[in-house]
Chain A
Amino acid sequence: MRALVNLLFFPGGLFLIVLALTYEFLDRKLIARFQNRIGPRWYQTVADIVKLLIKEEITPATAHPTLFGVLPVVAMSGVLTAALYVPLLGFPSAFGFKGDLIVTLYLLSLITMCIGVAGWNSTSRFTMVGATRAFTQLFSYEAPFMLALLGPAVVAGSWQIGEIVAFQQGRWVLLTQPFGFVVAIIGLMGKLEMPPFDAPKAKSEIVAGALTEYSGRGLGFFHLAKEMELVVGMTLIAALYMGGIANPLEFFIKTLILLAILASLHCVLTRLRIDQTVGLWWRYGAVVVLLQWLVLIAWRGMVA
């Protein structure tokens, strides 16, 4: 019974959806204000999802229909599952176990894989270019992003998110691993295909990228999955780097600070070309994180 509540209402399911839509609204409103616009009303994000859910879904004739329908569901369930392992609102994760950090990271990548496959499956020219770009981007940020999030785990000596959070009581990993933190934030932007990493869905080039052919429910699911990933990703970074999350108040303060950072970066940067994205990650992101790992390993060696 408790498991069912966990899955359907809190932290999975309904609660996460409401939280995701709220954060999406805050994100959009912030960006709009930064750009001297009015921005959406508070219920706009809900209205968008409701509209998408009741719209007709058109399946392209050349696409595999089952795959076309299943991919958005898989993407969404991946994020929902990931939410079970992170300390949402500051409560201990619902199904924490040893090594859940690794599982969470892979579950968070599932959505990008689904978007990429959806692009190839749609067989439109825009979606195929978009899918290629989505995968290229995945391969460029994924390794540095994972390494950045595993940094705190090495210090804490545990692969379990709950234990890393407990380890951080009173000290912020952010202070000892600032580079990892920066890479993790920028990695999250890449994962969410936020500007300046929005080349996979650059509308002035390839319309809507891999998801061009999705119109109704599927698009709504992908959209929702992305917004939930925003929340889960921010929770993860706050838990691993910003001194853990002990209560709801801390949760909101820390994630909202992260959201403000993401929104301002979104506003001040120009979209990167895909080759520039790859260059940025492998020339700088990966090198910085690896250097930090070297320092960490050396430090561990000395302490132990």
Chain B
Amino acid sequence: MSTETTLQQAEQLLAGVAKGTAKPEANRLDVNLEGGDLVAAASALSKARWGYLSALTGVDLGPEADALEALYHFCEEDAVTTLRVKLPRHGGAVPSISDLYANALFFERELHEMFGVTVNGLADTSYLFLPDGWPEGVYPLLKDVDPYAAAQKVTGGEEPEMGRKGDKFIVPVGPQHPALKEPGHFEFSVDGELVTGASARLGYVHRGIERACQQQNYVQNLYLVERVCGICSHSHATAYTNGVEKLAKVEAPPRAQAIREVIACLERIHSHLLWLGVASHEAGFETLFMYSWRDREVTMDLLESITGNRVNYSANVLGGVKFDISPAQADAIRRGLDKTEERARHYLNVVTTDSSFLARAQGIGVTSTAEAETLGILGPTARAAGVARDVRVNAPYGGYKQFPVKIVVDQAGDLAARFKVRVEEIFESSAVIRTILDHMPEGELSVKFPRRIPPGEAISRFEAPRGELFYYIKSNGTDTPERVKIRTPSICNWIYVLKKAVGAQLADVPPLLASIDPCFSCNDRMVVINRPRRGRQVLTWDELRRHANTLARR
């Protein structure tokens, strides 16, 4: 189906409730709504199975306009329908649509915490991202609020209660726990070995990057968003540059697009190998962990040889890339891929035939295709359950138009399928890199890019190793963005873990957690808060910068 008919379909579905529509881009449809009609509109889309809820963006239109906007982005193939709900800046309310779209739960809690919008029907309104003891009524993404001043007023929150809660026996996982190398807090109530309840608390590494983006210019932001995640830094950088390039109506030259894709594919290979190690460690298979991390080094060395960095490659500039791939480097990449493919074949053999491994992976955490769609899960986790969603295929961007990838899908929906899908994606990425290296377009690496960006909105979707990465960028005609919204894939997949942990064996919970390849720094993102002996210490951005400078001077 063409994008146009898909959008027409959406327009018809929403005709009853729409208070005006607009088509800002060929693949986008904006529909204005009253807050009260939101449930009707969402259920019309959900009944017709039109796409999935990809993100929920809050935008503060400023004290002068005295209004907020809540944007619900739905995606189907490359078509994006945005439901726009206008709200007063203080005391606005929207109904919850989490009954229809399970992943809306975390989005709505974020909207509530960051903008102070009341979401009617939201069961849990305790802080998900902000620290305990954050002053009440201070919503950090409102433009006239100073979150750094508010951070100074954070008082010591409550310690998590130890021991029994009522008659429930609770096993805590995190924020410091051997199963998690990153901080998150989960409470699993157990009955013997059986898990009967699960809850999550995120935000331990919330760094306020979205707010910081609104205070720096477009070029500075490139380096900031790259630090959202250490594993998929190139994904963030490219999703951001693609969005800004769309706004500026500048296209990066073909050679730059191809190089971006090569780095993205290498990043996917290293991320999947890293994940393979972590997931097998959680399941108690140390040997596989040790070997997959050894073999990941080959890819890390390749990335380093191209960009000079192992993480945060900093390969992109607005309008192109910084680094070329010389024929000698191309040969080195091919040799590295030979080695990686050989090892990946071995791993594919292990994860599909090793009986002691399969005893822990087969039939665990099974999701049907329909359930995966309702939960709104993304990336390899969804593809392992038969949901054929991959932005690189559904809505090709950049180099993927010229050098397409094949989608890897498995129907089983269990842990073993997720291992299989990810290992097979290593082959797929490797094949694409070979094609690109053989047919590398000639030409410039970058084009001139304007400092000021014309006003407008852009949506940039990118298939990161963990699933669809969603960027919403709004420009107001200056050199600083009005709003940058980052929706990472991990936040969409948590709901799956919390749902599937209930009824599972305690021993299966760590592999379940790991199976979505969670990335905490991705979905959290505030000022550094650590806790010396007395109270909390909060560093503002300026203090942090000064601190770094004094360290550097030493």
Which positions in A face B, CB cutoff 8 Å?
34-37, 125-126, 128-129, 132, 195-196, 198-199, 202-207, 267-276
CB <8 Å contact, A275 and B193: yes
- Report the nearest A residue to B514, measured CB to CB: A204
Residues of A near B178 (CB, < 8 A) are 203-204, 207
Contact of A198 among B169, B284, B505 (CB under 8 A): B284
Q: Is B286 an interface residue (CB 8 A)?
A: yes
In the complex the two chains form, what is the Cα distance from A196 to B356 in whole Å?
9
Chain B residues with CB under 8 A of A34:
287
- What 6 pairs between A and B have smallest CB-CB spacing? A271-B284, A204-B179, A35-B290, A270-B285, A203-B178, A204-B510
**B193 and A274 form a contact (CB under 8 A):** yes
Cα–Cα, bound, A36→B192 (Å): 37
Given contacts A36-B290, A37-B290, A207-B178, contact A270 B169 (CB under 8 A): no
Please indicate which of the listed interface residues B170, B192, B507 has the most CB atoms of chain A within 10 Å of its own CB: B507
> A195 — which chain B residues lie within 8 A by C-beta?
284, 286
**Complex contacts, A275 vs chain B, CB 8 Å:** 193, 505
B-side residues, CB < 8 A to A, are 163, 169-172, 177-179, 190, 192-193, 280-287, 290-291, 294, 354, 356-357, 359-360, 505-510
A183 CB, min distance to chain B CBs, angstroms: 18
Bound-state Cα–Cα, A267 to B125, Å: 46
Shortest distance between the CB of B518 and any CB in chain A (Å): 14
Given A34-B287, A36-B291, also A272-B171 (CB < 8 A): no
Which residues from chain B contact A205 at a C-beta distance below 8 Å?
179, 506-507, 509-510
| Additional 5 contacts, C-beta under 8 A, given A129-B506, A198-B284, A271-B360 | A35-B290, A128-B169, A204-B284, A271-B283, A273-B193
* CB pair A270 B283 closer than 8 Å: yes
A125 touches B170 (CB 8 A): yes
For B289, give the chain A residue with the smallest CB separation.
A35
Shortest distance between the CB of B349 and any CB in chain A (Å): 14
Asked whether, in the complex, the Cβ of B190 is within 8 Å of the Cβ of A129, the reply is yes
Give 24 pairs: A residue, B residue, CB < 8 Å, sorted on A: A35-B286, A36-B294, A125-B163, A125-B171, A129-B171, A129-B506, A196-B356, A199-B507, A204-B179, A204-B282, A205-B179, A205-B506, A206-B506, A207-B177, A267-B286, A267-B287, A270-B280, A270-B283, A270-B284, A272-B356, A272-B359, A273-B507, A273-B508, A274-B193
Complex Cα distance, B179 from A222, in Å, reads: 23
B507 touches A125 (CB 8 A): no
Contact of B284 (CB < 8 Å), options: A128, A129, A196: A196
Please name all residues of chain A whose beta carbon is closer than 8 Å to the beta carbon of B359 when the two chains form the complex: 270, 272, 276
Q: Which residue of B lies closest to A37 (CB)?
A: B290
* CB pair B505 A270 closer than 8 Å: no
Cα separation A273 to B364 with both chains bound (whole Å): 12
Q: Whole-angstrom distance from the CB of A193 to the nearest CB of chain B?
A: 12
Q: What's the nearest-Cβ distance from chain B to residue A132, in Å?
A: 7
Closest A residue, CB atoms, query B358: A270
Chain A residues near B170 (CB-CB < 8 A): 125
Cβ-closest chain A residue relative to B359: A276
Output the least CB separation between B345 and chain A (Å).
Answer: 18
Cα distance A37–B280 when bound, in Å?
17
Report the minimum CB–CB distance from A265 to chain B (whole Å). 10
Which residues of chain A come closer than 8 Å to B179, judged between CB atoms? 203-205
Q: Which residue of B lies closest to A32 (CB)?
A: B290
**B residues near A196, Cβ cutoff 8 Å:** 284, 356
With a CB–CB cut-off of 8 A, which chain B residues contact A274? 193, 507
* Residues of chain A contacted by B282 (CB below 8 angstroms): 204
B31–chain A nearest beta-carbon distance, Å: 46
Tell me the minimal C-beta distance from B294 to chain A in angstroms.
6
CA–CA, A37 and B287, complex, Å: 10
Contact: A202 with B290, CB < 8 Å? Answer: no
Whole-angstrom CA separation of A299 from B287 in the bound complex: 43
B360 near A270: Cβ-Cβ < 8 Å: yes
Chain A residues near B509: list those with CB within 8 A. 205
**Is the beta-carbon distance between A269 and B507 smaller than 8 angstroms?**
no
CB of A55 to closest CB in B, whole Å: 19
B365 to chain A, nearest CB (A): 13
Given the known inter-chain contacts A34-B287, A195-B286, please indicate yes or no for A126 contacting B171, CB distance below 8 A.
yes
CB closest residue in chain B, given A133: B193
In whole Å, how far is A281's beta carbon from the nearest beta carbon of chain B?
15
- Closest chain-A Cβ to B512's Cβ sits at a distance in Å of 11
- Could you tell me the distance in whole angstroms from the C-beta of A184 to the nearest C-beta in chain B? 20
How close is B109's CB to chain A, nearest CB, in angstroms? 27
Q: Are B193 and A270 in contact (CB under 8 A)?
A: no
Q: A196-B284, A276-B359 are in contact. Are A202 and B507 (CB under 8 A)?
A: yes
Alpha-carbon gap, A202 to B282, bound state (A): 9
Chain B residues whose C-beta falls within 8 Å of the C-beta of A269 in the assembled complex: 285, 356
Residue ID in chain A nearest B295 by CB atoms: A36
Residues in B neighbouring A132, C-beta threshold 8 A: 192
Contact B357 A270 (CB under 8 A): yes
Cα distance A207–B507 in the bound complex, in angstroms: 12
Interfacial chain B residues near A36, Cβ < 8 Å: 290-291, 294
Centre residue among B169, B178, B190, B280 by max chain A CB count within 10 A: B178
List the A side residues contacting B171 at CB < 8 Å.
125-126, 129, 206
In the complex, the answer to whether B505 meets A273 with C-beta atoms within 8 Å is yes
Shortest C-beta distance, B50 to chain A (Å), equals 40
Q: Which of A125, A198, A199, A273 contacts B172 (CB 8 A)?
A: A125
CB distance from B275 to the nearest CB of A (A): 14
The interface residues of chain B lying within 8 Å CB-to-CB of A35 are 286-287, 290-291
CB contacts (< 8 Å) of A207 on chain B: these are 177-178
How long is the Cα–Cα vector from A20 to B199 in the complex, in angstroms? 44
Q: What CA separation (Å) do A129 and B171 show in the bound complex?
A: 9
What residues on A are CB-neighbors of B505 within 8 Å? 273, 275
| Complex Cα spacing A126 to B172, Å | 9
Q: Once bound together, how far apart are the Cα atoms of A128 and B163, in whole Å?
A: 11
A272 to B283, CA, bound (A): 9
The distance from the CB of B169 to the nearest CB of chain A, in whole angstroms, is 7
What is the chain A residue whose CB lies nearest that of B278? A204
CB <8 Å contact, B287 and A204: no
Shortest distance between the CB of A213 and any CB in chain B (Å): 12
Q: How far is the CA of A132 from the CA of B507 in the complex (A)?
A: 13
A35's nearest neighbour on chain B, judged by CB, is: B290
CB distance from A29 to the nearest CB of B (A): 14
- Give the shortest distance, in Å, between A174 (CB) and chain B (any CB): 25
A276 CA / B283 CA spacing, docked (Å): 13
By beta carbon, the residue of chain A nearest B510 is A204
**Residues of chain A lying within 8 A (CB to CB) of residue B163:** 125
Whether the pair B169, A125 counts as a contact (CB closer than 8 A) is yes
Cα(A233)–Cα(B506), bound, Å: 31
B280: nearest chain-A partner, CB-CB: A270
Which of A34, A196, A271, A276 has most B Cβ within 10 Å? A271
Closest residue of chain B to A199, judged by CB? B507
A270 to B415, CA, bound (A): 14
Q: Which residue of A lies closest to B164 (CB)?
A: A125
Q: Do residues A271 and B190 form an inter-chain contact, with CB atoms below 8 A?
A: no
Nearest CB of chain A from residue B501's CB, rounded to whole Å: 12
> In this complex, what residue of A is CB-closest to B291?
A36
For the complex, give the distance between the alpha carbons of A192 and B139 in Å: 54
Question: How far apart are the CA atoms of A223 and B458 in the complex, in Å?
Answer: 60
